[in-house]
Chains A and B, each alone.
Chain A
Amino acid sequence: MSQGKQFGKLFSANIKMMFREKQVWFWNLFFPIILMSIFILIFGGGSDKAFKAKVAVVKPEQSQAAEGMYQGLKQIPVFTWQSEEPVSQEQADSLIKNKDVDGVIVLPDNGQAQSIKLIVNRENETSATSQALRGILDHFVTQANFQKAGITPAFKLETDSITSGSEDLSSVDFLMTGMIALAIAQGGLFGMVDLVEMRRKGLLKRLRMTPVRMGLLGLASMLVRFVLGVVQIAVLTVIGVYGFGAHLHLDIATLIVAFFIGSLAFNAIGYLISSFSKSLEAYMGVANIASFLMMFISGIFFPVNSLPDWLQSVTSAIPLTYFVEGLRDGMVYGEGLVTSDFWFGIGVLALWGAIAYMIGATLYRRTKVEVR
């Protein structure tokens, strides 16, 4: 029988087995979808809407200055007001404690103290919203001072955010591509568990008694994984774009190169793990550790520069870092094949894959068949 027909049968058998396994559906599709949705809702939500902060004001009676400031504050568009009317100090305290508002602004009375006070809940003291509130009020106070002193400021600051690629790159795009990279990487890391099971149950031994080429078997299961990877990219992209408004700037050639080399590299790492894991539990343990470490220090969800320096050097060594960069080149930056950074990343991935495969193959060859 021709190698072609053998391969065809092996491929279709592998496809059937993969899609009949409920675990595959869960871990490779549903779980990434849920995780992506949660991450986007937590970290990506702010980018679509304008910044809003809910505030309340404590205004002393019969204070001219306070009344003026109160009217001024009401003009600030990013504030939503807890109530139309100012509240008392006691009401304000309870609003803060119950976190009904992001902050309470206490306006000065007619006395000597001419300071505006911002009260926030201690739990939120360092949150982005509190920081922003402080900035806005600081600006407001400066403006008020300038007005009182009759000064026209000489310098103004204008900010615009710039990303290295397309103008409309949002954090949703960032999270979506990160999730795709993680899903494919985990597919590779965990996917080789079949091999451990096949060895433990004696199925590899059984196949060795037939004339089938083991290489053909490996090739068929590899190809099936590529099919799964394509499905993962398609499903997560559709949900990202239509569900959360992610933007795509596809560069198909870049995407294909990154996907192909990345999948191979992570499958090779999975293969390496399988070569020294005698049981399912051992394999899952090692794969979980690898996956968790990579998830948090590769910059797929969090910018890497928030990590300590020594950890950043680890970041620049692990494959997921380069895989996610390559995918972003192909999916949101819309370029890559022309940049040397892209090819450097692909090189690192290929190196990881090659080394993992070689060690794995050596370990497999050394493993003796168990005594009976």
Chain B
Amino acid sequence: MSILQVRGLRKTFGTVTAVDDISFDVRPGEVFTIIGPNGAGKTTTLEMIEGLQTPDAGSISIDGLTWAKDADRIKIRIGVQPQSGAMFDLLTVEETLELFAAFYPKSKSSAEVLEMINLTDHRKKRVKSLSGGQRQRLAIGLGMINDPDIIFLDEPTTGLDPQARRNIWDIILNLKAMGKTTILTTHYMEEAEKLSDRVCIVDQGRVVTLDTPGALIDRLTKEREVRLSFLDGEEAAAAAESALQAQPTVVRTARDGSSLALWSIQPEETLYGLFGFTKEQGFRVEQVSIREMSLEDVFIAFTGKEWRD
């Protein structure tokens, strides 16, 4: 059961292949996140689904409707917040919402949308004078003015400060609570991990992998990174390193002065053994940390690329 079905999408601009072969299904009510490096084809994919670009190959079905036959019916069932966020700068927030509301046969009241995007106090302000976060919230508000079943948010938090980002997360979680289907692209892994039901990693115009954030992280090798530093200096660190290398659970180690890093397939057991050794030797361990695996590691593992925010 899926509300959006994408099969074998392909789009080229001249000699550039923006989207090579993308297929996925989105289930009703879920937050579906597409992540990938710049130029991976995220925006082009969204624009094809939103009906702005015609795919060279492949098919898109939105709740059984297609752009070729049912463009007008699709338009009233989807809401879009495009990356550019272009609006009429000289209208007020309220006027903008009411103008867009007039485009649709059925719409939410502007008061209701203003409440949801938390702009009620700024409704008389001109769009020109809004802050980045307020402007972005208005763009999302315009995407939900027609009370759509599916809402597309293209990098809604890019360039916003942490507080403004959190405000937008609240809106997205709210939409989810209302049973709306949200398709999201983002640059922030933390955001994808926190908000998404499922994540689709795209690279070079292809789907690299697609699953829930938890399952993707679990799929990584069980190797975990542990970092320690020793109060007794380099000597202690070097002794600990050679002791660790004898342990079968340790894959490899690295040392920089009195700091030591190790990769273990069973960190608890490794640490148990290590602390036995340090106690025996009388070494004092200053800091210990086990790094959490995140989507960022998933991304690096699947694409072989560094992630940059």
The chain B residue with its CB closest to the CB of A1 is B105
Q: With A371-B13, A371-B16 known to touch, is A16 a contact of B90 (CB < 8 Å)?
A: yes
B51 lies within 8 A of chain A by Cβ: yes
- 15 new A-B pairs (CB below 8 Å) besides A1-B104, A13-B88? A1-B102, A5-B102, A9-B99, A16-B90, A201-B86, A202-B82, A202-B85, A206-B87, A209-B75, A210-B103, A211-B72, A211-B76, A211-B104, A368-B13, A371-B13
The chain A residue with its CB closest to the CB of B128 is A20
B275 lies within 8 A of chain A by Cβ: no
Q: How far is the CA of A13 from the CA of B89 in the complex (A)?
A: 11
B98 lies within 8 A of chain A by Cβ: yes
Q: With A13-B91, A211-B75 known to touch, is A202 a contact of B84 (CB < 8 Å)?
A: yes
The chain A residue with its CB closest to the CB of B102 is A9
The chain A residue with its CB closest to the CB of B53 is A369
The chain A residue with its CB closest to the CB of B46 is A372
B-chain residues with CB within 8 Å of residue A371 when the two chains form the complex: 13-14, 16, 18, 44
15 chain-A/chain-B pairs, Cβ below 8 angstroms: A10-B99, A13-B91, A17-B88, A17-B91, A202-B82, A202-B85, A202-B86, A203-B88, A206-B82, A210-B103, A210-B146, A211-B105, A371-B14, A372-B44, A372-B47
- List the 9 closest A-B pairs by CB distance, nearest first: A202-B84, A9-B102, A203-B86, A201-B86, A212-B103, A371-B13, A202-B86, A210-B103, A17-B90
Residues 158-181 of B, flagged 1 when their CB comes within 8 A of A and 0 if not, give 000000000000000000000000
User: How many chain A residues touch the partner (CB < 8 A)?
Assistant: 26
A-chain residues with CB within 8 Å of residue B24 when the two chains form the complex: none
A302 to chain B, nearest CB (A): 38
The chain B residue with its CB closest to the CB of A212 is B103
Q: With A371-B18, A372-B43 known to touch, is A205 a contact of B90 (CB < 8 Å)?
A: no
B147 lies within 8 A of chain A by Cβ: no
Tell me whether A206 and B104 are in contact (CB under 8 A): no
Q: How far is the CA of A188 from the CA of B44 in the complex (A)?
A: 35
B100 lies within 8 A of chain A by Cβ: yes
A253 lies within 8 A of chain B by Cβ: no
A-chain residues with CB within 8 Å of residue B76 when the two chains form the complex: 211
Q: How far is the CA of A203 from the CA of B139 in the complex (A)?
A: 12
B-chain residues with CB within 8 Å of residue A16 when the two chains form the complex: 90-91, 95
Tell me whether A13 and B51 are in contact (CB under 8 A): no
A residues adjacent to B (C-beta < 8 A)? 1, 5-6, 8-10, 13, 16-17, 20-21, 198, 201-203, 205-206, 208-212, 368-369, 371-372
The chain B residue with its CB closest to the CB of A204 is B86
A278 to chain B, nearest CB (A): 16
Tell me whether A205 and B103 are in contact (CB under 8 A): no
The chain B residue with its CB closest to the CB of A211 is B75
B52 lies within 8 A of chain A by Cβ: yes
Tell me whether B13 and A206 are in contact (CB under 8 A): no
Tell me whether A198 and B50 are in contact (CB under 8 A): no
A-chain residues with CB within 8 Å of residue B86 when the two chains form the complex: 198, 201-203, 205-206
Residues 84-128 of B, flagged 1 when their CB comes within 8 A of A and 0 if not, give 111110110001001110111101000000000000000000100
B95 to chain A, nearest CB (A): 7
Tell me whether B88 and A209 are in contact (CB under 8 A): no
The chain A residue with its CB closest to the CB of B84 is A202
The chain A residue with its CB closest to the CB of B146 is A210
Beta-carbon contacts under 8 Å, B33-87 to A: 43-44, 47, 50-53, 72, 75-76, 78, 80, 82, 84-87
Q: How far is the CA of A368 from the CA of B99 in the complex (A)?
A: 27
B residues adjacent to A (C-beta < 8 A)? 13-14, 16, 18, 43-44, 47, 50-53, 72, 75-76, 78, 80, 82, 84-88, 90-91, 95, 98-100, 102-105, 107, 126, 146
B-chain residues with CB within 8 Å of residue A20 when the two chains form the complex: 90, 126
Q: How far is the CA of A368 from the CA of B47 in the complex (A)?
A: 14
Q: How far is the CA of A266 from the CA of B279 in the complex (A)?
A: 89
The chain B residue with its CB closest to the CB of A14 is B88
The chain B residue with its CB closest to the CB of A203 is B86
B80 to chain A, nearest CB (A): 5
The chain A residue with its CB closest to the CB of B44 is A372
B193 to chain A, nearest CB (A): 25
A22 to chain B, nearest CB (A): 10
B-chain residues with CB within 8 Å of residue A10 when the two chains form the complex: 99, 102
Q: How far is the CA of A372 from the CA of B41 in the complex (A)?
A: 8
Tell me whether B52 and A201 are in contact (CB under 8 A): no
Q: How far is the CA of A5 from the CA of B101 in the complex (A)?
A: 11
Tell me whether B104 and A210 are in contact (CB under 8 A): yes
Tell me whether B52 and A205 are in contact (CB under 8 A): yes
Q: How far is the CA of A198 from the CA of B91 in the complex (A)?
A: 14
Q: How far is the CA of A21 from the CA of B146 in the complex (A)?
A: 29
Q: How far is the CA of A8 from the CA of B87 in the complex (A)?
A: 19
The chain A residue with its CB closest to the CB of B75 is A211
Q: How far is the CA of A372 from the CA of B155 in the complex (A)?
A: 14
B-chain residues with CB within 8 Å of residue A13 when the two chains form the complex: 88, 91, 95, 99
A-chain residues with CB within 8 Å of residue B99 when the two chains form the complex: 9-10, 13
The chain B residue with its CB closest to the CB of A209 is B80
Q: How far is the CA of A1 from the CA of B145 in the complex (A)?
A: 14
B252 to chain A, nearest CB (A): 41
Q: How far is the CA of A273 from the CA of B39 in the complex (A)?
A: 32
B-chain residues with CB within 8 Å of residue A5 when the two chains form the complex: 102
Tell me whether A205 and B82 are in contact (CB under 8 A): yes
B-chain residues with CB within 8 Å of residue A21 when the two chains form the complex: 90
Q: With A202-B82, A371-B13 known to touch, is A209 a contact of B44 (CB < 8 Å)?
A: no
Tell me whether B103 and A1 are in contact (CB under 8 A): yes
Q: With A1-B103, A211-B75 known to touch, is A205 a contact of B91 (CB < 8 Å)?
A: no
The chain A residue with its CB closest to the CB of B43 is A372
Listed residue (A10, A21, A203, A211) with the most chain B CB atoms within 10 angstroms of its CB? A211
